Structure 1
Amino acid sequence: MIRIRTAARTAAASVAAALTFAAATLAAAQPARAANLAVNPGFEAGLTGWTCTGRAEAVTSPVRSGSRALAGTPEGTDLARCRQTITVKPSSTYTLSAWVRGNFVFLGAEGHGETWASPGGTWTRLSTSFTTSPGQTSVTIHVNGWYGQGTYHVDDVELDGPGDAPGSPSPSPSPTPSESPEPSPTPTEEPTTSPSPTPGDRLLVGYLHATFANGSGYVRMADVPDEWDFINLAFGEPTSPTSGEIRFTRCPAAECPGVESEAEFIAAIRAKQRAGKKVLLSIGGQNGQVQLTTTAARDAFVRSVSEIIDRYGLDGLDIDFEGHSLYLNPGDTDFRNPTTPVVVNLISALRTLKARYGSRFVLTMAPETFFVQLGYQFYGPGDGGQDPRAGAYLPVIHALRNDLTLLHVQHYNSGPIMGLDDRYHTMGNADFHVAMADMVLAGFPVRGNPGNVFPPLRQDQVAIGLPAAPYAGNGFTTVAEVQKAVTCLVKGTGCGGYRPRGVYPNLRGLMAWSINWDRFNSYEFSRGHRRFLDGL
């Protein structure tokens, strides 16, 4: 079993054994001789033209040409990704290249996949090509590093293809602000089977920006399109990270013009429920850190969440814990019997809520791949030096698998993840979604240990989480690629390079961030996928 260690030389050797560089051109060749469409491609003007997360800056050494280059240092779940959106022409072929150094460096165009290299301290040219779809007029390119693998460097980025080259930007001494996309009871063992979804029963789950606007515009509850089956109210957030007290404060009129009154909001929820929809409170999100470190925080969580559910007459709860909400303490190595308080107390709180509201209570979870699929390689702090959050959702999912309605892992805002084929898969294409879904549908050995296997979930408990639009999150995948992935999983046909371990005809559906971004993008996600899912 191939495992990446924190030592750079071990990580490089592992990845070299697991992947080939078929998609990349790694040669000391000169860049293409056409107009470069990228703005500030050599970072001579700092980060002007780029939007970066985490620790990213323009440095004066090392550089390949000119006087500056990009330096990015991933920390925790952040990959120090820098992005730039560029105007392109429909149905046209482009070549994207960059010179890179570092342990792991990734280059890609969102919606068209990415390529990577591990060149160490030598400047190496990385290149990939793609063709824009009919009607596509912009593309977002990106570069980033990988979890725990140190600083990477990039210089001389080039996007070569039809279009008008930009002018030269003025130097800027300050970096662009970081982007904001937009998470011991004894566990019960394997569940009994349940009825399979009937045709037309596949689900579309969407998040509704109920407490903020986020640039995509406010959508009234009554105006949520009928295509959505589950409507998750984003977000309930804590009064402090460790209080356990959850508050749900609806978006103010100053931020969300046209927001309905409380009475209208509740009436619209009832109307959706009469139409067969489920309306859930989603807790967490990127900014909602919830750490139930004590039993007092656990009890406050149960009480305050119950008050919100009762106030609005909601159908259940979605757990979207991100950031540092969940982690594993040293020595907590068995997902079947966790000991870390934030994990144990969350399990206890969710069981209490399920018991309080009964069998009709809907429970969903939306973890990032870092907290689930990364557990195939890493689990908690391990032997030391690993991120303690790696795989930290696994004990929660396992303990609640008999109570869990849906798990829709976020197949976006993710670094490369090793699949069951021991190859790394990157966002934005069908293979990534097939590989990530296959892991929870087939099960996998935690930390590669065949004696410690995370059992598969029922097919009807699994949906795929996606951005509804290119602007909604990193890793946007076109409608065609998503449907290719679902067809492969459900029917076993049309698969690409990754072959799933089984065929999963009862895969439940798709989740999207978000209903608001879908409307902003002319309902491409909900309308296209609703018809497709109903026709499976």
Structure 2
Amino acid sequence: MERTGPPARFTGLLAVCSAALLAAAGLVASAPAATAADADLARNGGFEEGLDGWACSGGSGAAVSTPVHSGSKALKATPAGSDNARCSQTVTVRPDSTYTLQAWVQGDYVYLGASGTGTTDVSAWTQSAGTYTKLSTSFTTGPETTSVSVYTHGWYGTAAYYADDLTLVGPGGAPATVPAAPTGLKAGTATSTSVPLSWNASAGATGYQVYRDGTKVETATGTSATVTGLTASTAYSFQVSAVNAAGESAKSAVVGATTATGGGQEGGGGADLPAHALVGYLHSSFANGSGYTRMADVPDSWDVINLAFGEPTSVTSGDIRFSLCPVAECPGVESEAEFKAAIKDKQAAGKKVLISIGGQNGQVQLNSTAARDTFVSSVSKIIDTYGLDGLDIDFEGHSLSLDTGDTDFRNPTSPVIVNLVSAVKTLKAKYGDDFVLTMAPETFFVQLGYQYYGSGPWGGQDPRAGAYLPVIHALRDDLTLLHVQDYNSGSIMGLDDQYHSMGGADFHIAMTDMLLTGFPVAGDQTKVFPALRPDQVAIGLPASTQAGNGHTSPAEVTKALNCLTKKTDCGTYQTHGTWSGLRGLMTWSINWDRFNDWEFSKNFDAYFGN
């Protein structure tokens, strides 16, 4: 979270990450010769039919008549802003088969690649091609791969590139057959409102349908799902079917589950939050252009109020301090007694007030057990002094990083991660089940782990990419809310293997779908980051154009909520499920929302009928 307006801190790094990366696998790879049975499977690879069969990010592509390599048309695609002008199509292929991908390209930093191969995704690129140059690469599909995405793209901030005569040569995809019904359906530990399900994969399936008492309630791409919105102390029956292009299988055997008593959620504290909550940061310790807002003046719209910020006395000390903004900096600031009284009033009204640790200037690195213990004692002192409900972790910059041995998010070795997890678990044990824990990482530290886990965009190492994943995973049973900052990000790749840019519904839909669906970390199908429950997820947004890059208009926020909770207004991105229990929204910040005449909170209240 930024003390001021739009930052420049991550601009270069994340823009580079958002382009498809210079970690590409070599310039031009030699490819095996095609056999007589092979065919060109790419549709309209010469672009003679315009963009038929192709999808270009951000409307970046067009068919042009010059320059061409052959025929009368070629692709011209122009990167703009943080978009890399990626043009792609999905092609049906056969499992365990070898394919050769080729194209003629012209321009600076032009890429050709294939993703979703089921083995190792490949790409080739040229740094500078003043005339048409052939790129070529090859790959072998995995044992269950039936489709791949082939693409071209340019480079962030460069001029337009051209592509022509793209071919994908290899065995044609076999006709799909309806998959068999899934087996091994099991119900996990039920809460009062949800039941987690898992099952065995069905060969050839591209997705699954989940049925509750005979009615379809969820869709999934993987072999697990959590059915939410259930009634406490109620018996339910569940079945699952498998689907692909040929149709839907028969339903699995029935499994039964009974929800727990009471109205709480599983773990995570904050069981008495409203079904749809609004989270906001309150600038309590500093001033900026948004102006100071007293705790007593925070409207009832806000269900969780995060005090910004508790900051360390030094990066590695673990010693966290919090105090109200000085009067000289914040005219009109309340006294500490008034501040504490206002907190109690908010809590009496059912609101949660947390201390947020970190922010733009608050780098915290718990490199030692001594720092860990100091963190616990100093944070406890803040919570006890002000009578707070819990902790928000807003670590940014270099606060979290991975060790070179951290190849598996389930077993981190980095001391700063291990000690943070230990510290939070100690706090949770001290304050009990009502302790509210929230996190506000940036997309770089979470969703970027889908492509790169500790890997830099140049083929080197950036130990921060995806570094929040082991923390979230280790604390998922204690986590009340995760609200990733969907801003100050650049473009990020979604589960559709397309890049999505800030500021519109599509970005928030794609980023949130990843959290609610789960995803393989760095493309490793053996290391899948499990989906979070929808009641644990809120969408993080800037409250105004002054609050951060990536401001999203109320109309686009409404579209994102409609898509995720109702499967309407989904635009170009199709989600892997429908989550009516999505918890809500987070914003930086309450102060900036007040500066903007409460536009953000008014839209939230209107949408959820508050």
TM band (smaller chain)? 0.5 to 0.7
CA contact (8 A) 2:287 2:330 kept: yes
- The equivalent position to 1:6 in structure 2, one of 18, 22, 34, is 22
CA contact (8 A) 2:542 2:548 kept: yes
CA contact (8 A) 2:275 2:581 kept: no
Shift of 1:153: 6.0
What is residue 212 of structure 1 aligned with on the other side?
286
- The equivalent position to 1:415 in structure 2, one of 466, 490, 493, is 490
1:452 alignment partner, SS class: strand
Distance in 2 between the 1:413 and 1:211 partners?
A: 22
Shift of 1:26: 6.8
CA contact (8 A) 1:12 1:103 kept: no
Could you tell me which runs of 5 or more consecutive residues in structure 2 were left unpaired when the two chains were aligned: 1-17, 30-44, 46-52, 66-80, 85-106, 112-124, 131-153, 161-187, 194-227, 230-262, 264-272
CA contact (8 A) 2:23 2:459 kept: no
Distance in 2 between the 1:385 and 1:202 partners?
A: 42
CA contact (8 A) 1:405 1:461 kept: yes
1:453 counterpart letter in structure 2: V
Shift of 1:386: 2.8
CA contact (8 A) 1:3 1:448 kept: no
Shift of 1:192: 5.2
Say whether residues 1:487 and 2:562 are aligned partners: yes
- The equivalent position to 1:356 in structure 2, one of 430, 433, 442, is 430
> CA 1:150–1:307 in structure 2 vs 1: closer, same or farther (change >3 Å)?
farther
CA contact (8 A) 1:200 1:534 kept: no
CA contact (8 A) 2:19 2:155 kept: no
What is residue 431 of structure 1 aligned with on the other side?
506
Shift of 1:381: 3.6
Distance in 1 between the 2:397 and 2:504 partners?
A: 25
Shift of 1:8: 5.9
What is residue 379 of structure 1 aligned with on the other side?
453
2:603 alignment partner, SS class: helix
What is residue 240 of structure 2 aligned with on the other side?
none
1:450 alignment partner, SS class: strand
CA contact (8 A) 2:283 2:307 kept: yes
2:609 alignment partner, SS class: helix
Give per-residue Cα distances to partners, 1:23-72, cap 9 Å, x unaligned: 0257999xxxxxxxxxxxxxxxxxxxxxxxxxxxxxxxxxxxxxxxxxx9
Say whether residues 1:497 and 2:572 are aligned partners: yes
Give per-residue Cα distances to partners, 1:124-176, cap 9 Å, x unaligned: xxxxxxxxxxxxxxxxxxxxxxxxx9995689xxxxxxxxxxxxxxxxxxxxx
> CA 1:389–1:193 in structure 2 vs 1: closer, same or farther (change >3 Å)?
farther
For normalisation by structure 2, the TM-score amounts to: 0.60
Give per-residue Cα distances to partners, 1:377-428, cap 9 Å, x unaligned: 0101489603110000000000110100000001101021110001111101
1:410 alignment partner, SS class: coil
What is residue 257 of structure 1 aligned with on the other side?
331
> CA 1:252–1:424 in structure 2 vs 1: closer, same or farther (change >3 Å)?
same
| Greater strand content | 2
2:522 alignment partner, SS class: helix
- The equivalent position to 1:314 in structure 2, one of 357, 368, 388, is 388
Could you tell me which runs of 5 or more consecutive residues in structure 1 were left unpaired when the two chains were aligned: 30-71, 80-99, 105-117, 124-148, 156-189
Say whether residues 1:366 and 2:382 are aligned partners: no
Distance in 1 between the 2:403 and 2:573 partners?
A: 34
> CA 1:25–1:446 in structure 2 vs 1: closer, same or farther (change >3 Å)?
closer
For 1:12-411, what aligned pairs fall within 5 Å after superposition?
20-21=56-57, 23-24=59-60, 152=157, 193=191, 195=193, 201-381=275-455, 385-411=460-486
Distance in 1 between the 2:57 and 2:126 partners?
A: 12
Distance in 2 between the 1:21 and 1:375 partners?
A: 21
What is residue 514 of structure 1 aligned with on the other side?
589
1:291 counterpart letter in structure 2: Q
2:345 alignment partner, SS class: helix
Shift of 1:455: 0.3
1:318 alignment partner, SS class: strand
- The equivalent position to 1:447 in structure 2, one of 510, 513, 522, is 522
2:22 counterpart letter in structure 1: T
CA contact (8 A) 1:298 1:349 kept: yes
1:217 counterpart letter in structure 2: G
Identity %, equivalent residues: 65
2:306 alignment partner, SS class: strand
> CA 1:200–1:401 in structure 2 vs 1: closer, same or farther (change >3 Å)?
closer
Shift of 1:103: 7.2
CA contact (8 A) 2:109 2:155 kept: yes
2:444 counterpart letter in structure 1: F
> CA 1:520–1:396 in structure 2 vs 1: closer, same or farther (change >3 Å)?
same
2:605 counterpart letter in structure 1: R
Shift of 1:221: 0.3
Distance in 1 between the 2:492 and 2:602 partners?
A: 30
Superposition RMSD on alpha carbons, in Å? 3.3
1:453 alignment partner, SS class: strand
Shift of 1:20: 2.2
Distance in 2 between the 1:428 and 1:152 partners?
A: 19
CA contact (8 A) 2:517 2:576 kept: yes
Distance in 2 between the 1:410 and 1:352 partners?
A: 26
Distance in 1 between the 2:413 and 2:538 partners?
A: 28
1:222 counterpart letter in structure 2: A
CA contact (8 A) 1:101 1:152 kept: no
1:523 counterpart letter in structure 2: W
Distance in 2 between the 1:310 and 1:150 partners?
A: 51
Distance in 2 between the 1:103 and 1:367 partners?
A: 32
1:461 counterpart letter in structure 2: Q
Distance in 2 between the 1:307 and 1:377 partners?
A: 39
What is residue 467 of structure 1 aligned with on the other side?
542
Distance in 1 between the 2:346 and 2:191 partners?
A: 29
CA contact (8 A) 2:27 2:126 kept: no
1:288 alignment partner, SS class: coil
Give per-residue Cα distances to partners, 1:319-356, cap 9 Å, x unaligned: 00010000101021111111110000000000000000
Distance in 2 between the 1:28 and 1:214 partners?
A: 49
Distance in 2 between the 1:19 and 1:236 partners?
A: 45
Give per-residue Cα distances to partners, 1:95-140, cap 9 Å, x unaligned: xxxxx97679xxxxxxxxxxxxx996589xxxxxxxxxxxxxxxxx
Shift of 1:7: 3.6
Q: State how many pairs are aligned.
A: 393
> CA 1:6–1:419 in structure 2 vs 1: closer, same or farther (change >3 Å)?
same
Distance in 1 between the 2:342 and 2:64 partners?
A: 61
CA contact (8 A) 1:4 1:377 kept: no
2:354 counterpart letter in structure 1: L
Give per-residue Cα distances to partners, 1:2-21, cap 9 Å, x unaligned: 995534676999xx999625
Which structure has the higher relative contact order (CA within 8 Å, separation 6+)? 1
Distance in 1 between the 2:360 and 2:191 partners?
A: 34
Shift of 1:489: 0.5
> CA 1:287–1:260 in structure 2 vs 1: closer, same or farther (change >3 Å)?
same
For normalisation by structure 1, the TM-score amounts to: 0.68
1:472 counterpart letter in structure 2: A
What is residue 82 of structure 1 aligned with on the other side?
none
> CA 1:11–1:479 in structure 2 vs 1: closer, same or farther (change >3 Å)?
farther
> CA 1:266–1:420 in structure 2 vs 1: closer, same or farther (change >3 Å)?
same
Shift of 1:290: 0.4
What is residue 68 of structure 2 aligned with on the other side?
none
Distance in 1 between the 2:509 and 2:469 partners?
A: 19
